[in-house]
Amino acid sequence: MKKIIVPIDFSEHSEYALEAAAILAKKYDSELIVLHMLELSNAILTAGSDALSEEAVFYLKLAEKKFDQFLDKPYLEDIKLTPIVKHFKVWSEVNDVANEHDANLVVMGSHGASGIKEVLIGSNTEKVVRHSDIPVLVIKHNPILMEFENGVFASDFSDEAVAPYLNAKRTLDMLGVKMHLVYVNAPDGSFRSSSEIDKRVSDFLRKADGDLENLPSVNVVSDYSIEKGILNFANVIGADVIAVATHGRKGLAHFFEGSISEDLANHSTLPVMTFKI
């Protein structure tokens, strides 16, 4: 894990993400690329007058000063760190920075959301999760312990989940995490019989791994919803992290169908790692 992107907004939760990323960086000798999105308005960025140009420079300098103060943390000592201030307005552009720097992981903080605010506004973390081509680790609390031992990878075991499964398998193995696979049979999903699930899982593992060696690590649980099934199973096995594939839905598809990965990122107290399909 050579490079880790940490988008920050100077909030308490982005500091949680920064500390978590620092722990990973020290463990794996990684470089931290800490990104602040200035989010200047188009009027300031595109205006031709000297006054508005000076205003843009003023906000940029102010952000850089605040950035320096925010990064003055003891836990960042002896870590290779690259601070970046961008005037992006769209959080999906975090993915462009990740691609530009050939990063392996994005670590973000999230306070979660619920109700109408979540539906109409969403969160910056959701936007990054939806667009990122590389895994995104969502941190919800102060990372007192970052020793991930048991991880849950939740999947529907469809053909399109093969790539994120293999990506999760590599990533969790690199982090030294034992992966527990789980399929949730729920009324809000495509409810299947036991024989249908067995065939689906077996076909999936043959396609992904070429064998059924990981079949004993697959757990089938039933619950009232897929999200509840994943969270309850994670609690039962004492998981430290939940990994899940995300479709990266946008627009009306996201509004009507929702996204289990984004719901988990919002509602789980455990760190959640997403892998884009």
Entry pTM: 0.85
Q: Tell me: do 136 and 172 sit in the same domain.
A: no
Q: Tell me: do 74 and 174 sit in the same domain.
A: no
d(CA 264, CA 153): 12
What CATH number did the domain enclosing 265 receive?
Answer: 3.40.50.620
Q: Per residue of the chain (277 residues), what is the pLDDT tens digit?
A: 899 999 988 888 889 999 999 999 999 999 999 998 776 555 444 555 555 467 667 767 777 788 888 899 999 999 999 988 876 656 678 888 999 999 999 999 886 554 444 433 346 777 788 888 999 999 988 887 678 899 999 999 999 899 999 999 999 998 899 999 999 999 877 789 999 999 999 999 999 999 999 999 999 999 998 999 999 999 999 999 999 988 765 543 333 344 677 778 777 889 999 998 8
Burial of 122 (0-12, 13-18, 19+ CB in 10 A): middle
* Domain encompassing residue 64: 1-142
Q: Tell me: do 87 and 223 sit in the same domain.
A: no
Q: Tell me: do 151 and 276 sit in the same domain.
A: yes
Parallel, antiparallel, or unpaired for β 136-139 and 178-185?
A: unpaired
For the record, the structure tokens of 241 come out as: 């992290």
Q: Tell me: do 225 and 131 sit in the same domain.
A: no
Q: Tell me: do 200 and 260 sit in the same domain.
A: yes
How many domains does the chain divide into? 2
d(CA 108, CA 95): 13
Q: Tell me: do 128 and 151 sit in the same domain.
A: no
Sheet holding 3-8, edge to edge: 81-86, 31-37, 3-8, 105-109, 136-139, 272-276, 241-246, 150-154, 178-185, 218-222
Specify the residue for token string 């990054």.
128
Of 89, 120, 142, which residue sits at a domain end? 142
For the record, the structure tokens of 106 come out as: 């994005």
